[in-house]
């Protein structure tokens, strides 16, 4: 697992981001221009696309990138950002100039470790954690 984590950390952002299609952008994103406002119950991938649009709308790169809209397929990841914890972008159009840094530890945990834990925990094995360290009980 440590080797997989090492490869994960070195992978291109497009390879380790999740894919989702935006169903109804305007239903959940109330404002993405001068403020970032979302409606209650906003799905994580729609929120990530809204954050993309907010950052693009408030940058000098507004003319360089398309905005996310309803029916777009996006890629998204967990961000290491105090303002919003997820960030989405259109495939092949990652906005390096404005995108927040990826939270690589959380991304690895949510997309690699959690699916594995759903399999190994019921089989009696200990839970895998971010550090990939575990202890066996003596009793």
Q: What are the boundaries of each domain within the chain?
A: 13-103
The burial class, CB within 10 Å (0-12 / 13-18 / 19+), for 13 is middle
Q: So what's the pLDDT on residue 52?
A: 98
Of 12, 11, 2, 5, nearest to 91 by C-alpha is 12
pTM for this model (two decimals): 0.88
> Which CATH code is given to the segment(s) 13-103?
3.40.1820.10
Secondary structure in 3-state letters for 25-52: HHHHEEECCCCCEECCCCCHHHHHHHHH
Q: Is the Cα dihedral 99, 85, 11, 53 positive or negative?
A: negative
Averaged pLDDT, groups of 10, the chain, 139 residues long: 92 95 95 95 96 97 95 97 95 96 95 92 86 62
Q: So what's the pLDDT on residue 46?
A: 97
Coil, strand or helix at 96? coil
């Amino acid at each position: 697992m440590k080797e997989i984590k090492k490869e994960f950390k070195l992978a291109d952002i497009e390879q380790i981001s999740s894919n989702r299609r935006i169903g109804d952008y305007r239903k959940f994103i109330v404002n993405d221009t001068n403020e970032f406002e979302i409606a209650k119950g906003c799905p994580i991938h729609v929120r990530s696309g809204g954050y993309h649009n907010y950052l693009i709308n408030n940058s000098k790169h507004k003319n360089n990138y398309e905005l996310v809209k309803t029916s777009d397929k996006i890629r998204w990841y967990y961000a290491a950002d105090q303002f919003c914890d997820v960030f989405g972008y259109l495939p092949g159009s990652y906005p390096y100039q404005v995108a927040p840094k990826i939270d690589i530890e959380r991304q690895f945990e949510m997309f690699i470790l959690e699916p594995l834990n759903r399999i190994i925990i019921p089989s009696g094995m200990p839970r895998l954690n971010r550090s990939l360290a575990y202890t066996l009980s003596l009793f």
